[in-house]
Every structure is written in structure tokens, then in C-alpha cells.
């Protein structure tokens, strides 16, 4: 059990739950929908029957019948003397498929290559004799590149020396390496939900037991649940995306950053900040401060050029204190023998002109975001479109929990997307769909038209009772 919800809080979350008779089944349906949308996270302790009955002004027998119905459908488990706890729903999202010719692939949220990249690659190629004279097996990274990365952190107000930077073959490689060093089998790791699914795979591959903390487009990070999770489970590590979180696009406020840091320090956890989307600022909104007054060794930062320059340029890095960098270097040969010299030379030149690159990316992403927001609001007005100021995607709320069915239907019409449950850690998010705005505006508009065409069929084929109850609960 990771946290609990009070009777009063559950009553508020249920809202207008009493949409049909019998009352116990209507109550059970309301709780099921909260689980389905991940508004009630897995392993949350539910209120005692007597407490919930008082909060909802029901008889205790009605609540007991609702809990029994939830046990029968596998949404909760109950143990005499210990109460009832919500259960994981499982990740039942449609799997990723390979795009065929003519398909619009929005499964990846990556913009096309920065237009000036080919020229930089050509310039570096002219220095090939000097590059091939190097040994080529450097598990720490070229000093020129590490110095450039350290300088960028210093300019952000995070004083950094080259010895506090490790160059990796992309951010995913960095996550795998950090997980292998910090996590032992069975260790708890705190993660956001929804979150980046490849990070989840890497953490689980290292043996982690994940503890979810909800983050929403409207409310941000659930700090109460985070503080409970840090205090109760004492995770060894927390994996967070504080700026333009993938997939929600939400950024932490200063208060959220301070609360996460304080809770993490109290629990003795290492806080790993995935900042691969942090530079993708569209509206030039100031980034909140935080995580920069931590104890040595508490905060680790991950960056890469995958989202800002090109996904095919596999260069990432870790910024951490010197002791952890040395541990990572010692462990790295079991994963790989270093980042390619050519890519590092390209990255070094790119960082010298990074402000120009970010300006172009901001313009490109703004065009995509604005076109996508406009299309969704015109074609699917019942969907809720969040306001995002950067990042790569919209975390759209549908008017029914049918994300997986929608993705499958759109696939047959040549549009490939990832359903909401893909970004959960233990099921849920069926009411959400990630819509990347990294493709050209005309392609995004075409994709939304396809979604609008198939949505009517998807909802028409869904159980009518589900649609009716969803409409009454939102």
C-alpha cells in the first residue's frame, strides 16, 4: 500500500456518481472510473465502509455491496482488519507498430532534424583524419564536449565542472546506466504517472518496484501523494520530468520543485531529473527555480540532443557529483564502451550555436501546437485540450475512456498514435490520448480529421452503459 484517500476526498472525487440504481452499483462504477482514469492510483487504501457511508450519506450495507462488486471485478482487494486497496489494472494499450508507406506515424514525439545539422556534419567530416587518430574508447566523453555541457549548466545557475559530466549514447542509455548503478532488485522508485514509457521499462529492467505519483495537466503534481509515497516507501530513487513533462506538457512550479526536493532528501532518495524536453520552450515563459540547493549527490540531471536537434544524433549526458560520475564510469563497460567520437564532435559544434537552434525549434513547435489545438477544438469540441507552453505533445482528455479503441480504429485509417495507457505504470489513463505536435501542421490537421471520423464509430460501438455513466461523471 503506497497511500490512502480519505472518505471526504473520495466523495469529492466521485462528484455526481449516483446516476442509476441500484445505488451500490452506481457507487462501484464511480470508483471504477476513477481507477480507469488513474485519478485513483493503484495500491491506494480506500476509506473504511463506515467512514465512506457517513461521507456519502449512505447506509453501510450499500458501501459494503459496492466494495464487494469492486472485488468481484478485480478493481480492489480487501483483507479483514486491513481494509480495501485498489489494484493495478495492467497496461493493455495497443502495441507499437511499424509505419508503412503513406501512414502518418505519431507514435514518436520527435521533431524532424534541425535544418542546419547536415552542414555541421559535413564540417566535422572534413576533420576525419584528426578524429580517427583518437583511441575511440572513451567511457567518460570528450573533454571538449563535457566542457561545453558544463558551461551550459553554469549559465543556468548550476555551477558545473567537466568532471561532473558523463557523455552517453542518448538519454535512454543514461537512464539505463543510472538505474543499473542506483537500483537493486526490489528497490522502490518513485515515478510520475503518466510518464515516459521507455524510462519505465529501464527502471523495471533494473528490478525496481515503481511507486506512482499522479500528474495532471490542470492540477500538476499530487504533492500529498508524493510526500506520502516518499515517507511510506522510502524509495532509493525518484525519476521526474520537471519541465514540459512528457506526455502532459506540464512544468513544475517553484513550490512543487521545493516540495519534491525536500521529500526526497528526507527519504534519502536520489532525484533523477530528465531534462530532455526542458529546452523546448515555445512561449518563452520563465522556467521556475528549484532543485538547485540540494545536498551533494541528491540531484542527478539527464540531457540529450534527441528532441532539440535530431533523434538520430545519439548523444546524451549525465550531470552529477563527481563520486556518482566515477561509479557510472566504472559500471559503463558492461553496457557499452563509450559514445562515438564523430557524434561527440558534431555535438560540440552544435552546442556552440545552441541559442539559434532553440529559436528554430520554438518556432517549429509553436506552428505545430497551434495547428493541432485549433484542429482538435474545431473537429472534436467535446475533448478537453490543455494549455501547454512547450514540450512536444498535448495530453488530450477524451469525453469517454476509449483511448485504446480509438488508436486501433485510427490505425486502420493510416494514423499511428500511442494510447493513454501506454504512459501509465499500472493501467489507467484510458480517457487520455497523447497527440504530438512535432509533425507539419497540415499532417496534424489531417490526423485530427481522421480521429474525428472514427470517434463516432468508436463511441457507438462501446457499451452504452459505459458512455452514459462517463457523461454523468464528468
C-alpha cell at 407: 488508436
What is the domain-level CATH number for residue 253?
Answer: 3.40.640.10
pLDDT score recorded for residue 140: 96
pLDDT score recorded for residue 470: 45
93 in a domain, yes or no?
no
Mean pLDDT check: name the lowest of 22-31, 115-124, 233-242. Answer: 22-31
Residue with more model confidence, 88 or 167: 167
Are both 347 and 360 inside the same structural domain? no
C-alpha cell at 20: 442509476
Query: What is the C-alpha separation between 166 and 120, in angstroms, rounded?
Result: 23
Average pLDDT over residues 303-329: 96
19 in a domain, yes or no?
yes
What is the domain-level CATH number for residue 384?
Answer: 3.90.1150.10
User: Is-contact 149 174, C-beta < 8 A?
Assistant: no
Average pLDDT over residues 133-151: 94
What is the band of 37 on the pLDDT scale with cuts at 50, 70, 90?
low
95 in a domain, yes or no?
no
Are both 447 and 330 inside the same structural domain? no
Q: Which of 307, 326, 352 is the last residue of a domain?
A: 352
Over 60: is that where the pLDDT of 463 sits? no
User: Is-contact 278 129, C-beta < 8 A?
Assistant: no
148 in a domain, yes or no?
yes
Q: Which of 308, 334, 352 is the last residue of a domain?
A: 352
Are both 343 and 383 inside the same structural domain? no
pLDDT in tens, 347-361: 999 999 999 999 999
36 in a domain, yes or no?
yes
What is the band of 11 on the pLDDT scale with cuts at 50, 70, 90?
confident
Total domains in the chain come to: 3
Are both 154 and 252 inside the same structural domain? yes
Are both 348 and 380 inside the same structural domain? no
Are both 285 and 348 inside the same structural domain? yes
Are both 306 and 378 inside the same structural domain? no
Are both 445 and 467 inside the same structural domain? yes
Report the relative pairing of strands 415-416 and 393-397 from DSSP bridges: unpaired
User: Is-contact 441 369, C-beta < 8 A?
Assistant: no
pLDDT score recorded for residue 78: 86
Are both 79 and 219 inside the same structural domain? no
163 in a domain, yes or no?
yes
DSSP 244-308: S-TTT-----HHHHHHHHHHHHHHT-EEEEE-TTTT-BSS-PPPPP-SSSPPTTSEEEEEESTTT
Q: Which of 327, 352, 377 is the last residue of a domain?
A: 352
Q: Which residues pair with 237 in a beta bridge?
A: 189, 270
Are both 287 and 401 inside the same structural domain? no
What is the band of 435 on the pLDDT scale with cuts at 50, 70, 90?
very high
* Percent of the chain topping pLDDT 70: 92
Are both 278 and 412 inside the same structural domain? no
What is the band of 464 on the pLDDT scale with cuts at 50, 70, 90?
low
What is the domain-level CATH number for residue 8?
Answer: 1.10.10.10
- Burial zone of 122 (CB within 10 Å; 0-12 exposed, 13-18 middle, 19+ buried): exposed
Residue with more model confidence, 466 or 454: 454
Over 90: is that where the pLDDT of 469 sits? no
Q: Which domain holds residue 435?
A: 104-109+356-473
pLDDT in tens, 167-193: 999 999 999 999 999 999 999 999 999
* Percent of the chain topping pLDDT 90: 68
Spell out the alpha helix ranges (H) of 268-419: 322-331, 341-352, 354-379, 403-411
What is the band of 94 on the pLDDT scale with cuts at 50, 70, 90?
low
In whole numbers, what is the pLDDT of the chain averaged over residues? 90
180 in a domain, yes or no?
yes
Average pLDDT over residues 382-404: 95
User: Is-contact 467 400, C-beta < 8 A?
Assistant: yes
Average pLDDT over residues 116-127: 96
Are both 371 and 336 inside the same structural domain? no
96 in a domain, yes or no?
no
Amino acid at each position: 500500500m503506497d497511500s490512502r484517500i480519505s472518505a471526504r476526498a473520495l466523495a469529492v472525487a466521485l462528484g455526481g456518481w449516483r446516476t442509476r440504481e441500484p445505488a451500490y452499483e452506481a457507487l462501484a462504477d464511480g470508483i471504477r472510473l476513477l481507477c480507469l482514469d488513474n485519478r485513483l492510483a493503484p495500491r491506494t487504501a480506500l476509506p473504511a465502509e463506515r467512514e465512506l457511508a457517513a461521507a456519502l450519506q449512505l447506509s453501510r450495507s450499500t458501501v459494503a455491496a459496492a466494495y464487494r462488486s469492486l472485488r468481484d471485478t478485480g478493481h480492489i482487494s480487501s483483507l479483514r482488519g486491513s481494509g480495501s486497496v485498489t489494484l493495478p489494472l495492467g497496461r493493455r494499450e495497443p502495441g507499437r507498430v511499424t509505419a508503412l508507406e503513406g501512414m502518418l506515424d505519431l507514435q514518436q514525439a520527435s521533431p524532424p532534424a534541425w535544418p542546419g545539422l547536415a552542414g555541421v556534419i559535413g564540417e566535422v567530416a572534413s576533420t576525419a583524419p584528426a578524429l580517427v587518430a583518437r583511441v575511440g574508447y572513451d567511457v567518460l566523453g570528450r573533454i571538449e564536449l563535457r566542457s561545453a555541457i558544463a558551461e551550459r549548466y553554469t549559465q543556468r545557475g548550476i555551477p558545473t565542472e567537466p568532471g561532473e559530466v558523463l557523455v552517453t549514447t542518448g538519454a535512454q542509455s543514461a537512464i539505463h546506466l543510472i538505474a543499473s548503478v542506483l537500483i537493486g532488485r526490489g528497490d522502490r522508485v518513485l515515478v510520475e504517472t503518466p510518464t515516459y514509457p521507455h524510462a519505465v521499462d529501464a527502471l523495471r529492467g533494473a528490478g525496481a518496484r515503481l511507486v506512482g505519483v499522479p500528474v495532471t495537466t490542470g492540477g500538476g503534481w499530487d504533492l500529498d501523494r508524493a510526500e506520502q509515497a516518499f515517507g511510506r516507501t522510502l524509495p532509493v530513487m525518484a525519476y521526474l520530468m520537471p519541465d514540459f513533462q512528457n506526455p502532459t506538457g506540464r512544468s513544475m512550479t517553484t513550490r512543487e520543485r521545493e516540495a519534491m526536493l525536500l521529500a526526497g532528501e528526507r527519504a534519502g532518495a536520489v532525484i533523477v531529473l530528465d531534462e530532455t524536453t526542458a529546452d523546448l520552450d515555445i512561449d518563452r515563459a520563465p522556467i521556475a527555480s528549484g532543485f538547485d540547493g540540494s545536498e551533494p549527490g541528491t540531484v542527478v540531471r539527464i540531457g540529450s540532443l534527441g528532441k532539440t536537434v535530431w533523434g538520430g544524433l545519439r548523444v546524451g549526458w549525465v550531470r552529477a557529483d563527481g563520486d556518482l560520475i566515477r561509479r557510472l564510469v566504472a559500471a559503463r563497460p558492461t553496457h557499452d564502451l563509450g559514445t562515438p567520437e564523430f557524434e561527440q564532435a558534431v555535438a560540440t559544434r552544435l552546442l556552440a550555436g545552441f541559442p539559434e537552434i532553440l529559436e528554430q525549434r520554438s518556432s517549429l513547435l509553436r506552428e505545430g501546437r497551434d495547428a493541432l489545438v485549433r484542429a482538435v477544438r474545431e473537429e472534436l469540441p467535446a475533448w478537453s485540450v490543455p494549455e501547454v507552453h512547450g514540450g512536444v505533445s498535448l495530453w488530450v482528455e477524451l469525453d469517454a475512456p476509449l483511448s485504446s479503441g480509438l488508436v486501433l480504429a485510427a490505425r486502420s485509417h493510416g494514423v499511428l498514435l500511442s494510447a493513454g495507457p501506454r504512459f501509465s505504470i499500472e493501467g489507467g489513463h484510458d480517457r487520455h490520448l497523447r497527440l504530438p505536435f512535432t509533425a507539419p501542421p497540415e499532417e496534424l490537421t489531417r490526423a485530427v480529421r481522421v480521429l474525428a471520423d472514427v470517434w463516432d464509430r468508436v463511441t457507438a460501438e462501446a457499451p452504452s452503459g459505459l458512455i452514459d455513466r462517463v457523461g454523468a461523471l464528468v
